[in-house]
Structure 1
Amino acid sequence: MSTKSTRGIDDAGVPDHPSRSDGFVRGVSGLIGGPLGDHAVALDRPVGRDRHFWTAARIVLALVCLTLALHWVQKSPCQDGAWTNNVQYTRFCYTDVLALYYAEGLNEGKVPYRDHPVEYPVLTGYFMGALGLPVHALGRDDPGLNQGMWFYNANALVLGALAVATAAVLLALRRRRPWDAALFALAPALLLTATVNWDFLAIGLAAFGLLAWARRRPALAGLLLGLGGAAKLWPLFLFWPILLLAIRGSRLRAAFTAIGAGALALLVVNLPTALLYPKNWGRFLELNTERPIDWGTLWYIGRYLDGKVGGSGGTGPFEWLNANIPVLNNLSYALFILACVGVAVLALAAPRRPRLAQLAFLVVAAFLIFSKVWSQQFVLWLLPLAVLARPKWGAFLAWQLAEVAYFAAFYGELLGASTGRPVFPEGVFVLAATLRLTTVVILCVLIVREILRPEQDAVRSTYADDPDAGVIDGAPDAPWLRRHHPPGSTVDPTPAPATT
């Protein structure tokens, strides 16, 4: 007889088998013989626990590499930079990485921010320069070198490595559920948009930040999330669910440590450039303040309903907002803040403390839903969060199919705008944008439902509490909150001993 708490042990429990636990996968598995049998040889043991090389983790990493290789092939028609006859649209291979090598003056040796204003946050600009300036130097020595192609491939290599690292983080966070990461590895959005822009720089940093938080290293977590915010804004939003859960679990010191480290990282990265080149540094903020309603957003759909986008000449509230950008900005910010307040109410009032990934997905999704800009590659922001928040295949694949439909419609819209000959009626693109918006909203609704009914949460069926929560994992609710929840609704700080 022995007593041993299993809290914090993420590789010793019974592993999850999707063909048994996931209704969608169980149904599809009937095509190849049905769910995994009781006597089947499992591939999802941790590396080193059996004699099989092809463990679940290694299969997932191989699938990520395969998806990225196919993505590189899909983008190959555009790599030479000779975009004649609108090949970048007809072959669906456009990428900002190649286009901005010339637009940002990197092909002329211009140093980002010093010689040219950059439309992205500072760390992304540094990243562009770190890869672009050596390519320009090579081009000076070899005039026949296709600088754009070299720049794109250098970026594809580094961004691909960050995508693989993100998958490895997902595997590390879900060692009992390694097949969850297959959602990320096989996502059509990863295949289509991995190197459209530099988003994987921020995604990789944010993923490692979440891993550091899960490993109870709040200062490192804050540092990495702050660096992610210096590359793209959205990783900074993850501090909000961390703070909310710390309030509920009485772990404010860890949350403030992370927030302070994140603020310090953000300051250290931005301050030198802001002081030396204030006008060029502020281009990102200026551009986002001035931009009107962009394609595919909630506001764009509203403009179409107003009748203006479709060419009927009608007017309406959304068209008025497009002509009054400050009001549009304030309304967008206000709706996002209201959504964050709603997440706070949910985090504190839910019958059981929500998981970090669930709240993180809701916050980032709310930002996209109410933003006036929703670029095609922003789907990548949600991808790892969706895997961690709700690792179920059915709704995930519906969302991914909607993203594929939007991707195709978006390129048709670009081609029509470039040639002056619409590829299809405007309503087709608006329908695709509406489907994308709707599937993201549905994912949010499903996550909220599982927060309110934690017995339906797939991750909680495998883990006692929240494997991503770090110092909050397994902590009891704050005393002032326990008075407002019925007995048994919070995590017991002294788990029952296991008998072996």
Structure 2
Amino acid sequence: MERQTDLVLPSRDDPVVAAGSEAIGGPAGRRLLPGTGWWTPARVIVLLTVLVFSLGIAQRDYCRDIGWPRENNLQYVHVCYSDMPHLYRERGFAEGNVPYLDTGEYPRLEYPVLIGAVMTVTAKAARATERTLTGQAVRFYDLNAWLMLLCAAVTALAVVNLAGRRPWDAALYALAPGLALTGTINWDMMAVAFAMLGLLAWARRRPLLAGALLGLGTAAKLYPVLLLGPLFLVCLRAPDKRAAFSALAKTVTGAAVAWLAVNVPVLLLAPNGWRAFWVFNEQRGAEFGSIWLVLEQAGQGKIPHFNLLVGGVLAALFAGIAWLALTAPARPRLAQLAFLTVAAFAVFNKVYSPQYVLWLIPLAALARPRWRDFIAWQACEVVYYLAVWYYLAGSYDPNRGLPVGLYSVAIMIHVAGTLYFAGMVIRDLLHPQHDPVRPGPDALGQDPLSGPLVAASRTGQTGGAPAVG
């Protein structure tokens, strides 16, 4: 635990916060003891997260009041869409069917099994407390929205602890517009909570638990498994590779066991239902928000060998991240590599749903805690969030919808914003003196997420300063 006097205050450290603090008397003075009293950074950040996330729930009140009908474009015009009530009505939950096991006149559930389990439980509660179909769909949304709020608060606590002596960097996560706007579109917040708790367990030198949490996150959404790549890369830069890879082996084992424990029972009982998620993603083409959709709309045709192309581009990007990690002058911080890896996957995947920004927000707060860059990136995400709903509104009323050309521009704004933030992370990685978290050559010792690697570094040293190669 960091000493309170060692905590970094944003008003002393961040130029944007320092300038803004002039309105309330300027940056904190030297005599201020940060984080003392009842209002600790963790409590403040959790409260801010709850308030911001609750604003996002309130923003959907119009759609909640009308029950999210499919028959018109009002949920898009009022930018209050959510997948939750529609999936309740359209995947057999309203009939009391169990996903994966039961079938009917509706598509199979195209979600990983942990989300399917949560949907099953909350659907049963909705049917028990409401009689009408619309009322059940709304109650289903309410239950899952507040569950996502809980996941957001848990994530906030994880980010505060992962930030080390910079707990106020978690305010970037807590105050992010993307958190409010997209938090209840889908169940991504649950996977985010598992992923960040997994990183926290790694930082606390509990690699087996870290793996179990990442495995559970992957059983909810696929992206947490990507974090094993950055863990592998930082282990390659550890002085004592045997100790580092011993910890990594425990993490991989924990992830595999947890994922299998959740998935194998469903696979054995309902193999076709279990495969629906994988088949759906293998067969989907260039969809909303993806750079590939822009290319298709510009060329007015399907991209040949699409799956092979996407896979090749992602493989090349992951290889480039690995090259950066291995050639950087100092050991990259885990959060930097994690952000770059997940951002590459999100930007160049087949689809970019608006809520995918939730994957990146906590990693961004840890990778590049600078308000100027974070605000610029989030502004681009807000532009895309508004654009996608007005583009969809055009499917009901072309006069109230966004034209294809402007929607493509909005996609490129989102892509440019993410690539800009990634570029700043890469700059910090290649020039550690620019990194606000740990300027200087000692990358490992000043990375709050180092976890077992700190012990591995000390084991592998015979004296003197930590190695940087």
Fold similarity call, TM over 0.5 = yes
Q: Which of 275, 291, 294 is the matching residue for 1:298?
A: 291
Structure 1: gaps (5+ residues)? 1-8, 309-318, 493-500
Q: Cα distance, 1:10 vs. partner?
A: 3.1
Q: What does residue range 33-432 of structure 1 map to in structure 2 within 5 Å?
A: 33-39=25-31, 41-42=32-33, 44-45=34-35, 50=36, 52-80=37-65, 81-83=67-69, 85-116=72-103, 117-139=108-130, 142=131, 146-249=135-238, 250=241, 251-306=244-299, 308=300, 319-321=301-303, 324=304, 327-421=305-399, 423-432=401-410
CA contact (8 A) 1:167 1:181 kept: yes
Percent identity among equivalent residues? 40
**RMSD across aligned C-alpha pairs, in angstroms?**
2.3
Count how many residue pairs are aligned between Structure 1 and Structure 2: 454
Residues in 2 aligned to 1:248 and 1:415: alpha-carbon distance in whole angstroms: 50
Structure-1-length-normalised TM-score:
0.86
Q: Cα distance, 1:340 vs. partner?
A: 1.2
CA contact (8 A) 1:353 1:490 kept: no
Structure 1 residues 447, 205: CA separation in 2 closer, same or farther (over 3 Å shift)?
A: same
Q: Cα distance, 1:87 vs. partner?
A: 2.2
Are 1:469 and 2:446 counterparts? no
Residues in 2 aligned to 1:263 and 1:364: alpha-carbon distance in whole angstroms: 20
Structure 1 residues 458, 167: CA separation in 2 closer, same or farther (over 3 Å shift)?
A: same
Residues in 1 aligned to 2:109 and 2:263: alpha-carbon distance in whole angstroms: 13
Residues in 2 aligned to 1:275 and 1:456: alpha-carbon distance in whole angstroms: 52
Residues in 1 aligned to 2:302 and 2:135: alpha-carbon distance in whole angstroms: 46
Residues in 1 aligned to 2:24 and 2:294: alpha-carbon distance in whole angstroms: 42
Residues in 1 aligned to 2:266 and 2:122: alpha-carbon distance in whole angstroms: 19
Residues in 2 aligned to 1:183 and 1:266: alpha-carbon distance in whole angstroms: 31
Residues in 2 aligned to 1:175 and 1:302: alpha-carbon distance in whole angstroms: 42
Structure 1 residues 143, 344: CA separation in 2 closer, same or farther (over 3 Å shift)?
A: closer
Q: SS of 2:94's equivalent?
A: helix
For residue 190 of structure 1, what is the amino acid of its counterpart? L
CA contact (8 A) 1:351 1:489 kept: no
Q: Cα distance, 1:222 vs. partner?
A: 0.3
Residues in 2 aligned to 1:368 and 1:57: alpha-carbon distance in whole angstroms: 29
Q: Cα distance, 1:55 vs. partner?
A: 2.8
CA contact (8 A) 1:476 1:491 kept: no
Structure-2-length-normalised TM-score:
0.91
Residues in 1 aligned to 2:25 and 2:329: alpha-carbon distance in whole angstroms: 40
For residue 154 of structure 2, what is the amino acid of its counterpart? A
Residues in 1 aligned to 2:68 and 2:320: alpha-carbon distance in whole angstroms: 48
CA contact (8 A) 1:190 1:380 kept: yes
Q: Cα distance, 1:174 vs. partner?
A: 2.0
Cα deviation digits, residues 169-191 of structure 1 (max 9, x gap): 11112242121011111100011
Q: Cα distance, 1:304 vs. partner?
A: 3.3
Residues in 1 aligned to 2:268 and 2:187: alpha-carbon distance in whole angstroms: 25
Match of 1:6? Answer: none
Cα deviation digits, residues 256-282 of structure 1 (max 9, x gap): 110111111111211111122111111
CA contact (8 A) 2:94 2:133 kept: no
CA contact (8 A) 1:356 1:468 kept: yes
Residues in 1 aligned to 2:154 and 2:280: alpha-carbon distance in whole angstroms: 31
CA contact (8 A) 1:474 1:491 kept: no
CA contact (8 A) 2:457 2:466 kept: no
Q: Cα distance, 1:424 vs. partner?
A: 3.6
Q: Cα distance, 1:330 vs. partner?
A: 1.2
Residues in 2 aligned to 1:424 and 1:125: alpha-carbon distance in whole angstroms: 33
For residue 408 of structure 2, what is the amino acid of its counterpart? V
For residue 234 of structure 2, what is the amino acid of its counterpart? L
CA contact (8 A) 1:135 1:147 kept: yes
For residue 62 of structure 2, what is the amino acid of its counterpart? P
Task: Say which one has the larger Rg.
Answer: 1
